């Protein structure tokens, strides 16, 4: 029989690209689950982060940013991934940036109109609006643009707001037993997280459009008593991109590998041996079959 005092449910985090969804989820969980970078479309997959408290378990669903440009097949897949996350969740948390409301924000607001779950509108980066009275007309505008049940002004980088967000979301969750063991923080595989860690370093280090033309595939993931052995393949779309990713004398590849290995050792709490290769796969980001084989669903 379910504990009547315990609540458990799913919370979809939605918003336009680069609004801070992954940063907020990592803050709510208390550790890094989703990769982050200043570039839009860093998150490409639907990722679950699990927070278990004494009286509740919140299963956050971090999603790609919803954008207007259909573009390549990869963009369309990411939009479908984000939109489908609204189906069957218990709460929707829409994230916007204080003082801004773009056409992409409006598209997200349009999508959540048809959702049955309550919507908690989280207004991020309110610390950048000074004096605070300047927020009032912006909040009034949001009331006309977005159909929400409750709104919360926060700064994702200020940890004092985290308990307020958790409390607001928890009250909308149904009563029931936890879906996951209390020590789990994600249901993503270590193999998947390893690929994401490598891709994050590439997103942060490479300029302009190149990060959007690459992906990472794990070819070997082997756990031994002493260490984890990981072989990762970085796929790019053109020969020129391959040269940039490798860098002069392999400098870029070495820097990416070193930083990713440090993150993986912290995450896995084990020594990690990470090897990286780069390969050209023509037009992979606009090929539905290639995307499916690479885990983009």
Per-residue pLDDT reduced to its tens digit, 257-297: 999 999 999 989 999 999 999 999 998 888 888 888 888 76
Give the tens place of pLDDT for each residue, 42-63.
878 888 999 999 999 999 998 8
Model pLDDT, residue 3? 47
Are 59 and 65 spatial neighbours (Cβ–Cβ below 8 Å)? no
Model pLDDT, residue 69? 62
Model pLDDT, residue 45? 81
Model pLDDT, residue 73? 81
Q: Please name the residue that has the structure tokens 């149904």.
A: 174
Spatial distance between the Cα atoms of 278 and 256, rounded to a whole number of angstroms: 12
Model pLDDT, residue 68? 66
Are 243 and 252 spatial neighbours (Cβ–Cβ below 8 Å)? no
Are 8 and 179 spatial neighbours (Cβ–Cβ below 8 Å)? yes
Residue ranges matching CATH 3.30.300.20 in the chain: 190-293
Q: In what order do the strands lie in the sheet with 215-223?
A: 215-223, 227-236, 271-280
Residue ranges matching CATH 3.40.50.300 in the chain: 7-170
Are 228 and 270 spatial neighbours (Cβ–Cβ below 8 Å)? yes
Its CATH architecture, for the domain 7-170, is: 3-Layer(aba) Sandwich (3.40)
Burial of 17 (0-12, 13-18, 19+ CB in 10 A): buried
Could you read off the pLDDT tens digit of each residue along the chain, which spans 297 residues?
A: 344 589 999 999 999 988 888 889 999 999 888 988 877 778 788 889 999 999 999 999 988 777 666 567 887 877 777 777 778 899 999 999 999 999 999 999 998 988 889 999 999 988 888 888 888 999 999 999 999 999 999 886 677 889 999 999 999 999 999 999 999 999 999 999 999 999 999 999 987 767 778 999 999 999 999 999 999 999 999 999 999 999 999 999 999 999 999 999 998 999 999 999 999 999 888 888 888 888 876
Spatial distance between the Cα atoms of 297 and 285, rounded to a whole number of angstroms: 13
Q: What is the CATH number of domain 190-293?
A: 3.30.300.20
Model pLDDT, residue 198? 96
CA distances from 196 to 34, 47, 176 (A): 8, 11, 32
């Amino acid at each position: 029989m379910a504990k009547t005092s315990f609540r458990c449910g799913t919370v979809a985090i939605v918003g336009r690209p680069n609004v801070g969804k992954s940063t907020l989820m990592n803050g709510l969980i208390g550790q890094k689950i989703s990769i982050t970078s200043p570039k839009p479309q860093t998150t490409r997959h639907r990722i679950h982060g699990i927070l278990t408290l004494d009286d509740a378990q919140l299963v956050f669903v971090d999603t790609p940013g919803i954008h207007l440009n259909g573009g390549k097949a990869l963009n369309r897949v990411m939009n479908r991934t984000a939109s489908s996350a609204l189906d069957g969740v218990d709460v929707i948390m829409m994230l916007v940036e204080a003082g801004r409301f773009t056409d992409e924000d409006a598209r997200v607001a349009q999508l959540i109109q048809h959702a049955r779950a309550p919507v908690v509108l989280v207004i991020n980066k309110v610390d950048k609006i000074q004096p605070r009275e300047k927020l009032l007309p912006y909040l009034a505008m949001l009331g006309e643009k977005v159909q929400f049940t409750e709104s919360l002004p926060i700064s994702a980088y200020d940890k004092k707001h985290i308990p307020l967000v958790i409390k607001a979301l928890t009250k909308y969750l149904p009563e029931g037993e936890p879906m996951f063991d209390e020590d789990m923080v994600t249901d993503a595989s270590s193999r998947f997280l390893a690929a994401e860690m490598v891709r994050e370093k590439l997103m942060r280090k490479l300029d302009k459009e190149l990060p959007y033309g690459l992906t990472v595939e794990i070819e070997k993931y082997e756990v031994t008593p002493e260490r984890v052995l990981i072989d990762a393949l970085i796929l790019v779309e053109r020969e020129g991109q391959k040269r940039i990713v490798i860098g002069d004398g392999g400098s870029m590849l070495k820097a990416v590998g070193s930083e990713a290995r440090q993150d993986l050792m912290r995450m896995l709490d084990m020594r990690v041996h990470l090897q990286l290769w780069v390969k050209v796969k023509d037009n992979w980001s606009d090929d539905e079959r290639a995307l499916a084989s690479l885990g983009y669903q």
